[in-house]
């Protein structure tokens, strides 16, 4: 069940919020837990026990860490059990076949792959539960003694499937004591509508262009169409994922939670470093807090800093998918982040126009790496991009998608939101929200194209 579906909008959402609002305060976390488990099980009933096991293992491990605070060996044992369990589930479902296939290719073996379906959101909720156990181990937060409250945190349905990655320290106080008022609900509804519009009206429409390019075949497109296609994918993945994150934040507000922002107009960045301060910010923060800094960060000399960056970005790429293209995608960013740390960022700071061109060009290259998992097809696509063959095909697609591309490009900057904030006419603003909602629903009623790119992660 996805947020941008009629099933969610007109069945699950009204029933879930009706139940949530009418139950007494002491039962709200229980209702939230049960509703979230139902939401998750609707799409993945087979993996319902894994979700319950994840909650139980981390709950008991954190209690063990707290109880044996003076016994370092036992304390560490509980911590390692939780971490190995969480990572073990992630690696088994997401990476087993990747390693089998590569082992077969390297050693000429014929080990059979497993028939596995990736549990929805496992990459996201694994990181969330790990952060909780790590923070308890560090003494940053106390262990949660109420398994209902911890379970509500782990499976909180607005951010369960695709983030933002919400840490226990972000909402632990709200789990115990949160207030919900009409102004907060109204703000949440408006935020949700904006996210829905991003996803349905922009991402879905612009994404259809990239889908058509894939159907044509990379070997059959002209250079302009190849560039046009990857531009479309770049806009699609931004509005697709940021739209989902915005919807999640809006739903969180309606439930009484404040989730962290996940995007801050990343395409206006003037360096790759700046881009990753703006794109999927909760993931970047997670890797910085739980991988980069524990490895030593930049405190142990430049050589160690570059090694730490290499580890973080190899892991970041691998986290996104069990294919070599994702690893190369992560290492692609490592190279340019390292170059910028070596001093190139000073040059970029002095050359405003060049810095924007530099970032946008590299991002188009990176999204090519991200979008095409078959390395042979990836090579073909890059050849078409730089072969400078000019055909007439791109004119047809430009004519059909030009307006959508222009609108998406403008909305990927803060220009329109800033102008909208200056409007002081309440009824006019509300009319815009209603219009976005009606157009989004009309699209969902009529459309068959409604993918969500980050579900596969």
Per-residue pLDDT of the chain (457 residues; tens, 9 = 90+): 788 888 999 999 999 999 999 999 899 999 999 999 998 888 678 888 888 899 999 999 999 999 998 888 999 999 999 999 999 999 999 999 999 999 998 888 888 888 888 888 888 889 999 999 999 999 999 999 999 999 999 999 888 877 799 999 989 899 998 888 899 999 999 999 999 999 999 999 999 999 999 999 999 999 999 999 999 999 999 999 999 999 999 999 999 999 999 999 999 999 999 999 999 999 999 999 999 999 998 888 899 999 999 999 999 999 998 899 999 999 999 999 999 999 999 999 999 999 999 999 999 999 999 999 999 999 999 999 998 888 888 899 999 999 999 999 999 999 998 888 888 888 888 899 999 999 999 988 887 666 666 655 5
The token pair that represents 170 in the structure block: 């972000």
Task: Output b/e per residue, 330-356; b: 16+ Cβ within 10 A.
Answer: bebbbebbbebeeebbeebeeeeeebb
Residue 399 burial (CB < 10 Å; 0-12/13-18/19+)? exposed
In whole angstroms, what is the distance from residue 378 CA to residue 218 CA? 9
Rounded to an integer, what distance in angstroms lies between the CA atom of residue 281 and that of residue 164? 8
Which value, in Å, is the radius of gyration of the alpha carbons in the chain?
A: 23
CA distance 324 to 329: 8
pLDDT given at position 456: 58
Q: What's the whole-model pTM score? A: 0.92
Q: Could you tell me the sign of the dihedral formed by the alpha carbons of 436, 441, 447, 450, in that order?
A: positive
| Residues noted as catalytic | 320
pLDDT at 449: 66
Per-residue DSSP letter, 390: -
pLDDT at residue 29 in the model: 94
Q: What does the block give as tokens for 295?
A: 């490895």
CA distance 177 to 179: 7
CA distance 213 to 415: 30
pLDDT for 450 equals: 64
Q: Over the range 173-182, which residues count as b (16 or more CB within 10 Å of their CB) and which as e?
A: ebbeebebee
Distance CA 300, CA 333 (A): 22
Instruction: Provide the residue count of the chain.
Output: 457
Please state, as a whole number, how many other Cβ atoms lie within 10 Å of the Cβ of residue 270: 19
Give the whole-angstrom CA distance, residue 76 versus residue 128: 19
């Amino acid at each position: 069940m996805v947020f941008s579906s009629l099933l969610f909008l007109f069945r699950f959402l009204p029933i879930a919020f009706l139940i949530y609002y009418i139950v007494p305060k002491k039962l709200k976390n229980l209702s939230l837990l049960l509703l979230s488990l139902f939401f998750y099980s609707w799409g993945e009933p087979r993996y319902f026990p894994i979700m319950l096991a994840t909650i139980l293992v981390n709950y008991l491990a954190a209690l063990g860490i707290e109880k044996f605070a003076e016994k370092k060996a036992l304390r560490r044992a509980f911590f390692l059990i939780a971490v190995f369990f969480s990572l073990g589930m992630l690696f088994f479902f997401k990476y087993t076949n990747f390693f089998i296939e590569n082992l077969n290719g390297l050693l000429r073996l014929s080990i059979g792959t497993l028939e596995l379906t990736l549990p929805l959101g496992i990459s996201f909720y694994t990181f969330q539960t790990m952060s909780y156990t790590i923070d308890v181990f560090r003494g940053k937060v106390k262990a949660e003694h109420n398994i209902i409250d911890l379970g509500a945190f782990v499976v909180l349905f607005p951010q369960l499937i695709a983030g933002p990655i919400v840490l226990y320290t972000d909402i632990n106080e709200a789990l115990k004591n949160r207030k919900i008022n009409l102004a907060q609900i109204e703000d949440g509804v408006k935020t949700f509508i904006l996210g829905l519009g991003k996803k349905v009206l922009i991402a879905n429409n612009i994404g259809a262009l990239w889908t058509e390019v894939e159907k044509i075949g990379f070997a059959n497109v002209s250079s302009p169409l190849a560039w046009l296609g990857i531009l479309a994918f770049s806009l699609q993945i931004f509005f697709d994922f940021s739209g989902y994150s915005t919807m999640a934040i809006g739903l969180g507000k309606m439930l009484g939670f404040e989730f962290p922002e996940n995007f801050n107009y990343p395409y206006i960045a003037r360096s790759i470093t700046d881009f990753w301060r703006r794109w999927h910010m909760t993931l970047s923060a997670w890797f910085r807090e739980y991988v980069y800094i524990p490895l030593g960060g930049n405190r142990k000399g430049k050589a160690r800093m570059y090694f730490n960056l290499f580890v973080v970005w190899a892991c970041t790429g691998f986290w996104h998918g069990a294919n070599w293209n994702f690893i190369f995608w992560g290492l692609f960013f490592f190279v340019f982040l390292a170059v910028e740390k070596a001093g190139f960022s000073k040059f970029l700071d002095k050359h405003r126009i060049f810095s924007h061109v530099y970032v946008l060009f590299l991002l188009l290259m990176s999204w090519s790496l991200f979008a095409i998992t078959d390395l042979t097809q990836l090579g073909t696509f890059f050849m078409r991009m730089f072969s400078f063959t000019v055909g007439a095909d791109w004119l047809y697609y430009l004519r059909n998608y030009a307006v959508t591309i222009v609108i998406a490009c403008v909305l990927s900057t803060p220009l329109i939101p800033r102008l909208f904030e200056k409007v002081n006419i309440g009824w006019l603003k509300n009319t815009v929200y209603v219009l976005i909602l009606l157009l989004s629903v009309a699209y969902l009623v009529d459309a068959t194209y409604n993918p969500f790119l980050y579900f596969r992660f």
